[in-house]
Amino acid sequence: MRLRWTLWLAGGVLAAGAEPPSPTPPPSTDELYKLGQQLFDEYAPPEVKEQYEFPTKEQWDAFAARLQHALDSNSLEDLADYEPEARTALAALRTLPGYGDYADWLELRIDDIEAAKQAVARRSLPAPGPPLAGRTEPAIPLYDLWLARERARPVPGAAAALMPRLREAFTAEGVPPELAWLAEAESTLNPDARSPAGAAGLFQLMPDTAHALGLGTFLPDERKDPEKSARAAARYLRALYGKFGSWPLALAAYNAGEGRVRRELASRGATDFAGVASALPAQTRMYVPKVCALVDVRTGMAPDRLPPPRA
C-alpha cells in the first residue's frame, strides 16, 4: 500500500503552491493535480509505472498531512517513523524530470529523520553513569549526535565557488561569516532549491519573509541570487539575535518562527535553547544542533565561541 503514496510529492508540490511555468493566470488545484498525473504518465519510465501507482487526490492530502505532522510535532518518534514513506517517495521523485530541487529538499528532511531515529534509539539504551568530574550536559541537546553526522559528510561541490561570496555577504551585514554555512543545512548549497511550502533559494526564505527583507520573489526571484539572499538571511539572523540574545535561539526562531520560540520561553521561564527544545517542533529540535555542528565542522568555530553581531 505504501507504494501508492510515493508519487505524492511529484504532484503534491504543485498543489502546495509551486510556481507554474506561465506567470498568469495561476492554475486551479484540480489543474495542478492533472498536471502532476500528466507528468507521471508522460515521463515516468515503464519500470516505475509497473512498480508505482499514481495516487488519488485524497491520498496526496493524507500523505501531506502526515508529512506536516511529522515535521511540526515535537515527537521525535513520529518523525523517525516517517522514514519508510519518505525514502520511497524520494526514490520515485528522482525519476521525474524537473523535480530535482524538490527531491533535494526531501533528502534534507530524510537527514533529519535519520538523526531522529538515532536520538530515539539512544533513549532505549541503559541510563549512563554519573558524568565525569568537570563535565556538564551540552547546552545544545543532540549536538554531539549531529557533530558525528556532520564530520562524516563531504563538503558539497558548490562550496568552493559559493562560500567565499556568502561569507563576504554575512561579514558585510555584521554577522559572523561562519554562519553562512547555514546555507548547506537549508539547501545543500543549491541556489534553486525549493520546498513544497514555498521556501526557495540557498537560505530557504518564505515569500513573506523575503519581502520583509527587501527581496523580490517574482521574475526574478531574488531568493535565488546568492549575494542578495545571503545578505537578507544575515539581516534576519542579526535581528533574531537582537531579540533572543543567543545564536541557538536565533536559529530556532529562523526555523520555527520567532513567535513560537518566544511563547515557549515565556511559558517555561527558560532563557536558552535547551530549556525549550523539547517543546519545539521535531524539525527545529534537529535543525539547531545540525546547523551548529555544521558550522563547527566546516569552520572550527564551536557554537559557544560564535561572537554576537558586530555593532
Q: Which tens digit of pLDDT belongs to each residue from 87-118?
A: 877 776 677 666 777 778 888 888 999 999 99
184 half-sphere exposure, CB direction, 13 A CA radius? 26
Closest CA to 187 of 117, 254, 108, 88: 108
pLDDT of residue 129: 42
pLDDT of residue 66: 73
Alpha-carbon separation of residue 227 from 157, 188, 299 (angstroms):
18, 16, 20
- Region 217-246 average pLDDT: 95
Whether pLDDT at 3 is above 60: no
Place of cell 541556489: 191
For residues 32 and 37, the model is more confident at: 37
What average pLDDT does the chain have? Answer: 81
Where do the domains of the chain lie, and which CATH numbers do they carry?
2-123 (no CATH), 151-305 (1.10.530.10)
Number of other residues whose CB lies within 10 A of the CB of residue 218: 9
Whether pLDDT at 5 is above 80: no
Please write the tens of the pLDDT for every residue from 167-225.
999 999 999 999 999 999 999 999 998 887 789 999 999 999 999 999 999 889 999 99
Contact 283, 77 (CB under 8 A): no
Whether pLDDT at 13 is above 60: no
Whether pLDDT at 121 is above 50: yes
**What whole-number percentage of the chain has pLDDT above 70?**
73
pLDDT of residue 287: 96
User: Whole-angstrom Cα distance, residue 151 to residue 154?
Assistant: 8
pLDDT of residue 8: 41
Contact 63, 8 (CB under 8 A): yes
For residues 37 and 275, the model is more confident at: 275
